[in-house]
Structure 1
Amino acid sequence: MTLVLLTEGKIEHLFKTMTKRLDKDNQGYSPLNFQKKIIHAHLNEGKNVILHAPTGAGKTLAALSPFYISKYLSEEIDFPSQSIYVLPLRTLAYSLADEAKVISELWTVKTQTGEVQEDPFFLEGDVVFTTIDQALSGALTIPLSLPPRLANINAGVWPGSYLIFDEFHLLDPNRSLQTTIHLLKQLCVEMQLTRFTIMTATLSREIREILAKELNAVHIEVTDEDLSQIKSQFQKKRKVITHSRCLSAREIIEKHTSKTIVIVNQVDKATYLYKEVKRYQPKETEVFLLHSRLLTDERKSVERKLKKYFGEKRNKSKVILIATQVVEVGLDITSDVMLTEFSSAPSFLQRIGRNARFEGEEGIVHVYTLDDSGGNQPWLPYEEDEVKATEVYLQNVCDSYFDFKKSNDMINQLCSNKDKEIWQKIKLHQKTFKEIMADAYRGHDKGLSGKLIRNIESVSILIHGKPPRDERIYLHETISMPIGKMKGFVNNLIKRGAEFKVKIQRIVYEGKDISFKNIESVIDIRNFDYIIIHPSLASYEENVGLLFGTPCKDVTYSFPVKSDEKIIKRYIYKMDTFEEHINACLKAYKEVCYSRTAFTRKGFAELFRLTSEDINRIIDFIIVMHDAGKLSKDWQSKAMNTQLQANSNFNEKILLAHTDSSNGKRIGFPDHSVLGAVIAYGLFDIDEKYNNLGQSVLTAIAHHHSAIVEKLVWEGPLKGLATLQKLLSQIGWNIKTEDMKQHLTNQLKEAKYKKDWSNQWSYWHVDPHLYWMYLFLVRQLRISDQRSFEYVEIIRNDHTSLIVEEKKNEQLKY
């Protein structure tokens, strides 16, 4: 690959090209110094970046610019071909994704959150905007939005991607922050497989410098010269006033003038204030509510209103927005008056970024004490001591004007010592923390997300009168709810003596099969449960959200089905031969995965002292061999019997990979994955060049249908070895017939007596290099396997054309 050194002039030209569509004059913007430094660090020096910049400085453009330039210059730049943009809140993901779509037609932009699943496998988007929950759970093989059998499919996207972590200061220091640091250190420092940019407006300088040293990254800060050129910092004033009383509807109405934003810590408080303000209905003022418990269409409707009423080009209508911390970050909105509760210092500074945001504006922020009279822990989701520290600081500087420098002073005063303590804790407990990560990679237990990602325990709620009894249930939208709130609801039903046992159910898996269990008490409710509630017990009110204990008028009501773009595709298997399926998988890999993984293949090649072509050859090998277990006589016999039920005239000599179904339902066959892995393992060892990767190959094939596999299942001899040999020769694995028979005989002798091969799987805690190779390989295999059904007809047509051509050639001979 040809590499170019980007001069300062070239960087400026390319940045202007990227921003042309954002400039009304279509000239593009000149990059600020910090934006140029990011491009230089990534594309000229091959360095990762930690960026400190204020709200509205152009951090998003800065972070995306190296990726844009690499796409623009194509093969001239050695850089990842996919970017994962990770954010702490899903509302932020939606708004930034919309902005990225405007920037360029060079990339496809997708959003992947628990609610909006445009790209559940992180495959369709060149830039995927996602949440920290989605990104980390996927990397840890405990994906929150996928069923257990797909646990290992998304981790392999981390190697070889350009990872952008925005609002990094909002990560849980005891969980997601530590997990992210451990993963970046492993993938970026120890293996050099991944590139990243970390961005923050409110992390203390001490912790930024520590992170830069630990992660071998460049620490870039906005300079005074940059600040003087950032329009959002021009001639604006933001005054902060503290109050010793609690925030109320009367306070909101009294302080409201034109554009008012109210931000509170908890959904219940936001809902209560909204209803109270609506009851008084301020004159000529629209009031609306935004929080995390709204369905997708309504949430999008509210977000459109935000741009209309609070954006830079806002109208003159009077409006009050009452919201939770979902509006703290990423939303390009402003207000002349803000009312908020005390929260942590980083949270407070994010909130006031939505007041007097744009050039030349003036605003007032009123901050209110928390009402803890009901014992409801009103400081949550923040730590109580952090909230109290913020309150003391702000009371001491009451009536002060807050700009970027004042915000930095606040952060450094309140957070520097705490950040140092956090880092010391990370170093002290890193061994224990890694053991928890190892448990996640071993058992794929989603419950560990509470220790590794967030401590906010929650369940997914679906209201449905007649829910489907299979995986079609996942096609419906859900609303995330704190587990304590759900338990309180059930507890109240029990106290009232209400009959609910068949009206509240949770999804469980028994092996690979889905089932529904009645919830009879609070002990039946577990973290991350998927819970179905009958509409006679709960409802959804427009402009308010999910309501427990208020029945629907329509007992057949259900939450809407997700739009097509958000549905995880479920493939209906149709008959294809073994040879057709393997060739279709190979074509799917070339069409879907090959170009996207060039940077990754190069990285793994350097890690294992191979070439990119070697890595590609190994991928071809696992694709050809992944279904070799289906060549057992037992599997083929059952498959043929099934196919004959669907088509009695079917040729019984054909080797099958999948069958038609006489009743349209999927057919259960003997497990073939482990047997296929064992067969492949024996043949892979023939090429001594790749011996050290045997465990990764074995593990990938064994786990290509599920992250957790059973013991080896095998009865009887193998069929179709000539077909297997032919397919191997197509990809350049030329194995002599006698050698192949000998290796398979030896391997199958061992398999006859050894049913448990788990001691030969690759494990993260034993050898992370081999484990990440396994995760990369299994991702390519599973995606190629899934997408192969799109290419079967093409393979058949090509085969038919080849046969016709051969017959013509034979006729010409005579």
Structure 2
Amino acid sequence: MGNNAVWKKGKKLKRNMKIEKFYKSTTGFAPYQYQLKVAELLLSGENVILTVPTGAGKTWASVIPFLYAQQTGKLEFPQKMIYSLPLRTLTNSIYSDVTKVLKENEAFEGAASIHTGEYKNDQHFENDIIFSTIDQSLSNFLCFPLSLSKRQANVNAGAMVGSYLVFDEFHLLDPKLSMATTIGMLKTLKNLCRFCIMTATLSEEYINNLKEAVNAEVVSINDFPDDAAIVNSLKVPEGRKAKKTVVVKDETINAQTILKRHMKKTIVICNRVEKAQQLYNDLISLTGFETLSGINHKNIICLHSRFFDEDRKKKEEDLKQLFGNKNGESAILISTQVIEAGMDISCDTMHVEISPINSFLQRAGRCARWEGEYGEIFVYDILELEEHEKLEIETANEEEEKQKKAINNKYLPYDKKLCEKTYAKLKDVSSLDKDISQQLVDEILTNQELADFTLIKQGNFNRSKMQQSWETCEKNMYSQTIRDIQSIEIAIIDTARETRDAFMPYKFQTIGLYKWSFIKWSKEILEQNEDVIFKAESNKDSQFIDWDTLDKEGFTLKPINDPYLLKNCYDTVFVDKSVFRYTSGAGLEMGAGNTCSPLKPYEKKEKETIEYRKDTFWQHNKAIIGCYEQEFKTNLQFAFKQLDKYWGESIDWDKLIKAMICLHDYGKLNAAWQKPMRELQILKGNYEPDEVLAHSDFNELTDKEIEKQSGAKNKPPHAGAGAFAFIESAEAIIDSTEYEDLANSVSTAILKHHGVETETYADFEITQVHYKEIERLLGEIDIKATLPQKARGGRLTDYVPQNNEEWVIYFLLVRILRLCDQKATMNLEKYLKISDHVFQIQSKKRNRNIFRHD
């Protein structure tokens, strides 16, 4: 072994020892060897696909490398982590678990946030650690963020650039939609991100295909036999032959069986909400229940998707207390697939309805999860649907017919053939371990997964649909790239107390129901009742709520008496409490009740007053540069190191960003823009001769008259002029043979720095006096370019990004520009001071370099 190889090996061992020590100080546990391998690969520049069984510690395997890089100041690793999960329940759980440990051990000094649509306090993904649902992560990258208006659609896509991206429970993503789009995003970002994909139940063949598609290293627990022997969720208790036994029953689950086999902790997982509700109601109504079982009714929890927010959160907290920390109380949980992945809970007895093998193994992962535990898993078939239970309704197309067949499938929401194959294979199994589990996955799923992968590969991982999303920024691309919407939001109301012609629809909390289940229910209800199911009639065409309408009244509450009409409903449907009931125990069910939907925690906000303080063109741009230096430049060191490789050519990215900033308000130098702003400022009484303004003192409540008098209300738009000027002068600004391609990204960032729908620039004419301001700014960053001082307005649609690379650079640039523009406008003094300080340091460095050269 050469000296260099010995040195590298020694350095690696030393780093592993440091990481091992950091692991223990952060989590309280020594790391497994596979966890150290994940950290070694990620910190050395590789991406990872991690495949380990449930309960083996994969969450910390992905989080610790980021924390370690943060603590050690490793700039070659991203400074932001976005941790994405497929379900809101999982996101809440992982966020709670990780942030609790970080707070207790003070292992992280940065800020962490959660982004699920329900929680969105960090709406621009600015914190260091973000836990997000995959819907939120992908919709932001695709420029139709679910929690932001279309005007802000391009702000968050750039958050993925230069970040560490974690995708947990990857196997739960829809193969043709969110899974394909995630792979497409990673292929598009290439080296501009670091990522870790984690799964417990994908076949080996699929993993191999995924590895090739995204160019990542696979870490499997099969390569670490010493770990497999000590992982708590795999370790066989002393005196037992297996950790978990499996018993397949030729019957269906019932309350008596659950009670009979209950030991201390029982988890029941059903495929359908209705079955879970039935078991829960049967269980708590059993005569002499408490005497027979020694369990309090409060320790029987029913959890599924049909609860209002407050009740769901309370149940999640309760089940963590009862099932998450070896609590000694006796407890029973009856649930659906909402808890089958990611939840760190355990039981000694489990009852499950049959589901495909990957789902079954996720469910089994909630049994005997802790050290020394032994568990029994009872697997049940599902009764055939009676003829009267099937949905019979006219369908108009192939997709609707497919959905109708799905609701009549007794294994809903799962594939019938996979369920039947899993049920047959499990009959030959008496116990579970990692080898048996992987063998079952490979035997049952390989063909299906390879067929899925072939289809998404043929579709180039949805990349054409991704580009369409970037171009249109329309939320209707959601169903083509992330999730096929087959649900209806339900609100329970007392229609006798509502004013039907002045109805305010979005004040109610709602519960999502599978559309065709609701149609089936409605068909039965409407045969006996009229005017009990309603829609709020408005002029909106979108299937997505426009939250700007929350403050607007005047919707009409219109009855729906034909269940066929519900096929086309994508918004909220309102049902009278006379036909739907809700209880905190069982959730939403069909039947008369007294509970209405609670109101959303929403207060009608007074319209924010638009107010600006005067700053000059030079001050404003210098403050934005200061904000960029402070808020972005350091945190983007990883991206800056990778950008040349990504673009294929060496570019002074720092200089390019500052040039973009200097030109973003070039249109404000237009005489037709400056004149009315100057007049307004004179009327305000705070104008210095020859000032070239970027903003004037202005309050929309008090200054409307002088705005009108000065002509400032009708001043021309300014964003497009800077985009046009950049295009015309790109060759002088960008030191690159591909300057025209890069100019597409920069000019589009300037063009759309106030909103994604800007496509044109107005006539402009810039006097020599005003032009000197841009010359001064560009001179300070060593750019000599002659910009057009006069032009007739026109369209810039030919200069938008043309390929993936141009789009990604645009995302990064427009994010920096928009956020810094906003921050600098709000806090001019802070960022102007930073800019002056940075400029002084850079000037001194330049002077020293000149002296040395001389």
TM category, shorter:
0.7 to 0.9
1:216-266 CA deviation, whole Å, 9 max, x = no partner?
221221122220122332224212222333333444334333211121223
Distance of 2:686 and 2:505 partners within structure 1: 35
1:468-496 CA deviation, whole Å, 9 max, x = no partner?
xxxx9999976555444676788889874
| Pair 500,643 (structure 1): closer, same or farther in 2 beyond 3 Å | farther
Amino acid paired to 1:270: A
Verify: 1:40 aligned to 2:53, yes or no: no
Which of the numbers 107, 111, 115 marks the counterpart of 2:114? 111
Which residue does the alignment assign to 2:847?
none
Amino acid paired to 1:308: Q
1:680, distance to aligned residue in structure 2 (A):
3.3
1:347, distance to aligned residue in structure 2 (A):
0.8
Which residue does the alignment assign to 1:260?
266
Which residue does the alignment assign to 1:307?
320
Which residue does the alignment assign to 2:236?
235
1:501, distance to aligned residue in structure 2 (A):
6.5
Which of the numbers 354, 367, 392 marks the counterpart of 1:342? 354
1:362, distance to aligned residue in structure 2 (A):
1.7
Verify: 1:726 aligned to 2:776, yes or no: yes
Which residue does the alignment assign to 2:73?
74
| Pair 533,38 (structure 1): closer, same or farther in 2 beyond 3 Å | same
| Pair 387,513 (structure 1): closer, same or farther in 2 beyond 3 Å | closer
| Pair 178,274 (structure 1): closer, same or farther in 2 beyond 3 Å | same
Verify: 1:558 aligned to 2:596, yes or no: no
Q: Which moved more, 1:485-494 or 1:166-175?
A: 485-494
Distance of 1:706 and 1:131 partners within structure 2: 25
Amino acid paired to 1:82: K
Segments of structure 2 that go 5 or more residues without pairing to the other structure are 1-7, 238-242, 391-406, 708-712, 838-854
Amino acid paired to 1:194: C
How many equivalent residue pairs?
Answer: 758
Q: Which moved more, 1:697-706 or 1:487-496?
A: 487-496
Distance of 2:634 and 2:492 partners within structure 1: 42
Per the alignment, in what secondary structure is the counterpart of residue 233 of structure 2? Answer: helix
Which residue does the alignment assign to 2:646?
607
The answer as to whether partners of 2:117 and 2:136 remain within 8 angstroms in 1 is yes
Q: Which moved more, 1:698-707 or 1:7-16?
A: 7-16
Identity score, percent = 30
Which residue does the alignment assign to 1:805?
none
Distance of 2:518 and 2:611 partners within structure 1: 38
1:318-364 CA deviation, whole Å, 9 max, x = no partner?
22112221211111111111122111211110001111111221222
Distance of 1:669 and 1:502 partners within structure 2: 43
1:581, distance to aligned residue in structure 2 (A):
3.6
Amino acid paired to 2:39: I
Which residue does the alignment assign to 2:422?
390
Which residue does the alignment assign to 2:276?
270
The answer as to whether partners of 1:227 and 1:233 remain within 8 angstroms in 2 is yes
Which residue does the alignment assign to 1:333?
345
The answer as to whether partners of 1:642 and 1:660 remain within 8 angstroms in 2 is no
The answer as to whether partners of 1:489 and 1:549 remain within 8 angstroms in 2 is no
Verify: 1:770 aligned to 2:800, yes or no: no
| Pair 159,477 (structure 1): closer, same or farther in 2 beyond 3 Å | farther
Question: Over alpha carbons, which structure has the higher Rg?
Answer: 2
Which residue does the alignment assign to 1:409?
439
Distance of 1:198 and 1:474 partners within structure 2: 37
| Pair 338,594 (structure 1): closer, same or farther in 2 beyond 3 Å | same
Per the alignment, in what secondary structure is the counterpart of residue 436 of structure 2? Answer: helix
Distance of 1:527 and 1:5 partners within structure 2: 65
1:664, distance to aligned residue in structure 2 (A):
10
Per the alignment, in what secondary structure is the counterpart of residue 612 of structure 2? Answer: coil
Q: Which moved more, 1:445-454 or 1:170-179?
A: 445-454
1:695, distance to aligned residue in structure 2 (A):
0.6
Amino acid paired to 2:177: R
Which residue does the alignment assign to 2:365?
353
1:458, distance to aligned residue in structure 2 (A):
3.8
Which residue does the alignment assign to 2:398?
none
Amino acid paired to 2:622: N
Verify: 1:678 aligned to 2:724, yes or no: yes
Distance of 2:702 and 2:586 partners within structure 1: 44
1:7-64 CA deviation, whole Å, 9 max, x = no partner?
22431332222331432xxxx51x32222222222223x2211222111222122222
The answer as to whether partners of 1:447 and 1:527 remain within 8 angstroms in 2 is no
Per the alignment, in what secondary structure is the counterpart of residue 705 of structure 1? Answer: coil
Distance of 2:675 and 2:124 partners within structure 1: 34
1:700, distance to aligned residue in structure 2 (A):
0.9
1:436-447 aligned at under 5 Å gives the runs 436-447=465-476
Verify: 1:367 aligned to 2:369, yes or no: no
1:352-388 CA deviation, whole Å, 9 max, x = no partner?
1111111221222222222433234443332232222
1:560-639 aligned at under 5 Å gives the runs 560-561=601-602, 572-579=610-617, 580-608=619-647, 614-635=652-673
Amino acid paired to 2:484: N
Verify: 1:208 aligned to 2:207, yes or no: yes
1:543, distance to aligned residue in structure 2 (A):
4.3
The answer as to whether partners of 2:609 and 2:701 remain within 8 angstroms in 1 is no
Which residue does the alignment assign to 1:380?
412
| Pair 13,119 (structure 1): closer, same or farther in 2 beyond 3 Å | same
Which of the numbers 817, 826, 836 marks the counterpart of 1:781? 817
Per the alignment, in what secondary structure is the counterpart of residue 121 of structure 1? Answer: coil
1:417, distance to aligned residue in structure 2 (A):
2.0
| Pair 460,669 (structure 1): closer, same or farther in 2 beyond 3 Å | farther
Distance of 1:98 and 1:164 partners within structure 2: 17
Which residue does the alignment assign to 1:744?
789
Per the alignment, in what secondary structure is the counterpart of residue 356 of structure 1? Answer: coil
Which residue does the alignment assign to 2:796?
757
Amino acid paired to 1:305: D
Which residue does the alignment assign to 1:498?
531
1:666-696 CA deviation, whole Å, 9 max, x = no partner?
9897643323322333344432515241110
Which residue does the alignment assign to 1:60?
59
Per the alignment, in what secondary structure is the counterpart of residue 267 of structure 2? Answer: strand
Which residue does the alignment assign to 1:84?
82
Amino acid paired to 1:425: L
| Pair 211,662 (structure 1): closer, same or farther in 2 beyond 3 Å | same
Per the alignment, in what secondary structure is the counterpart of residue 411 of structure 1? Answer: helix
- RMSD over equivalenced CA pairs, Å: 4.1
Segments of structure 1 that go 5 or more residues without pairing to the other structure are 802-814
| Pair 627,498 (structure 1): closer, same or farther in 2 beyond 3 Å | farther
Which residue does the alignment assign to 2:848?
none
Distance of 1:230 and 1:180 partners within structure 2: 30
Which residue does the alignment assign to 2:163?
161
Which residue does the alignment assign to 2:828?
792
Distance of 2:80 and 2:609 partners within structure 1: 25
Q: Which moved more, 1:86-95 or 1:285-294?
A: 285-294
- Provide the TM-score with structure 2 as the length reference: 0.79
Which of the numbers 423, 427, 430 marks the counterpart of 2:457? 427
- Provide the TM-score with structure 1 as the length reference: 0.82
Amino acid paired to 2:472: G
Which residue does the alignment assign to 2:747?
698
